[in-house]
Amino acid sequence: MRPRARRSTLGLTSLILVASVVSALPAAAAPPKTRVLSSADVPASFGQVQGFTFSKKPKDYATTITLCTDSKGDPMAAIPAPTPQYFAQSQIKPQRKNVFTNVSERVYAYPSADAAAAAYLQLSQEVVKCTGTVQGPAGEDPKVTDTYANGSSPGGQFQNFWVQDSTVFASRNPLNAGKTVMFSVYSQAGDAVIHTEVYIDGRLRVPAVQRTDLQLLAMTLSSKWAPQ
């Protein structure tokens, strides 16, 4: 097994904002499970959803909002995470051998919109650290190489920025060798900071159509947390 856990699993290109999700209840009154990613939200470009999980349990909370890490998994850009948190993930039916895809969302709930905005501002300043290539040994892997890129998606209803992490695991052990890519969008709406992500095990790049669709998905999910 690879020594680093998937950092996001339980753990943007101009956009046209799709119609906001409309709820019969005010956003503040709607239960969190109805406001996070659902299987029906996953864009068709990612494939067929074959599994779904949701958690709001404290044991699944992240201690930090981590934008990027070094080869050992230590944070290079991170801030303390608030509680509560809500996590939802859809596992995609593999379309190719040895290529596995997850689409997920983690919502960090703050005590107020001002607190969420301050945290988002801090994250947007930290993201400049997630650029370039870092490498080094990690556990049984002689060399792990992470190549980072970041940017933003102008034109959406909500401020946002994205981070992409393409990782190569080099190892004499075939079980530890491989490649992965994570494309993460961060946004803020109301009293929440929202992290929407696609993780692909078996690729180094996210196809352009999926990048665009994930950014659109992030804006749609953000709309569920915006004041009504």
Structural domain including 187 reads: 32-195+215-223
Please indicate, yes or no, if residue 2 is contained in any of the structural domains: no
Interatomic CA distance for residues 38 and 30, integer angstroms = 15
User: Count of domains in the chain?
Assistant: 1
- Tokens (6 digits) for 211: 């990048």
pLDDT at residue 222, as a whole number: 96
pLDDT at residue 3, as a whole number: 41
pTM of the model: 0.84
pLDDT at residue 156, as a whole number: 73
Please indicate, yes or no, if residue 152 is contained in any of the structural domains: yes
Task: Report the chain (228 residues): mean pLDDT per 10 consecutive residues.
Answer: 41 32 43 94 96 96 96 91 98 89 98 97 97 82 87 86 94 77 97 98 95 96 91
Cα dihedral across residues 203, 217, 146, 6: positive or negative: negative
pLDDT at residue 97, as a whole number: 83
Interatomic CA distance for residues 160 and 157, integer angstroms = 9
- Tokens (6 digits) for 166: 């393409």
Please indicate, yes or no, if residue 23 is contained in any of the structural domains: no
Please indicate, yes or no, if residue 205 is contained in any of the structural domains: no
Please indicate, yes or no, if residue 21 is contained in any of the structural domains: no
Please indicate, yes or no, if residue 5 is contained in any of the structural domains: no
Please indicate, yes or no, if residue 3 is contained in any of the structural domains: no
Please indicate, yes or no, if residue 201 is contained in any of the structural domains: no
Which CATH number covers residue 53? 3.40.1000
pLDDT at residue 96, as a whole number: 82
pLDDT at residue 138, as a whole number: 67
